[in-house]
Amino acid sequence: MLDALTEAEIQAYQSQGFILRRSVFSRVEIEQFNAAIDRLAADVIAQSHEGQEYRIDGRRFVDLDNQTLQFEPAPFEQDLRVLEPAHPLSSAVLTLLKDTRLVQPMQVLTGSDHVSLWTDKINFKRPGGSEFGWHQDAPYWMHDAAHLTQLPNVMVTLDDVVPGSGGFRVVQGSHQAGIHAARNDGTQLEGFYTHDDAVDVSQVVEFNEPAGSAIFFDPFLIHGSARNESGKRRRALIATYQPANLPTLKTKQVVNLG
């Protein structure tokens, strides 16, 4: 299979916890996709007053039907930070998730001949957009999934990522130790963030890659991103796959992808 993983990539995933493939999608493909998600963002922001608004650690969230909208902290509280899941609202997102350039590697990483979607989200990362603290995905999902090791992620970069724009970063090899100790700082979400003592800064890898690149990574890998200090957006799609015929995290519907 043209898009399947090589033996070297599989070994890298097992040892380092990630695989990088640069420029998987063309500039034209990414431009068309970005136009679709920008329209989507405008639509859900316009509808956000109809949802249930609440605060977690001082940050604004809105539940709108099956979607969760996370907004930037002040002074950008009207700017969307994360939309999860995006696929029920956008055929463009679903089409990208079904692309063989993502599906075939995920068949290898899940150990399944056919895959379905666990969850997906768009990170919008506006100029000045806030950081994503060090965390693992497994602690978020451990109460909802018995198949944590079969939930590989992929990030598709939707803008060129340059130093200072808050690029995705990981602690390579950190997935091998399972779930790490959580923060204990008194915040509401302390249990979902990795304790600073578990982060080996000497093993941090930051991805400053062109738009259309794909980074596949393990659900136990510690990852995050810094504040976007650049004057440009740093959008990204992050999706999590699983073996076929299993329900998604939020809607509980089965979304088979290939």
pLDDT at 4 over 90: no
Q: What tens digit of pLDDT does each residue of 20-41 get?
A: 999 999 999 999 999 999 999 9
pLDDT given at position 1: 45
User: What is the CATH number assigned to the segment(s) 7-243?
Assistant: 2.60.120.620
Residue type, 179: I
Q: How many CB atoms lie within 10 A of CB 200?
A: 12
Contact 87, 120 (CB under 8 A): yes
Residue 214: strand, helix, or coil: strand
* Burial grade of 197 (CB within 10 A; 0-12, 13-18, 19 or more): exposed
Q: Please tell me the pTM assigned to this model.
A: 0.96
Q: Where are the domains of the chain?
A: 7-243
- Per-residue pLDDT reduced to its tens digit, 208-243: 999 999 999 999 999 999 999 999 999 999 999 999
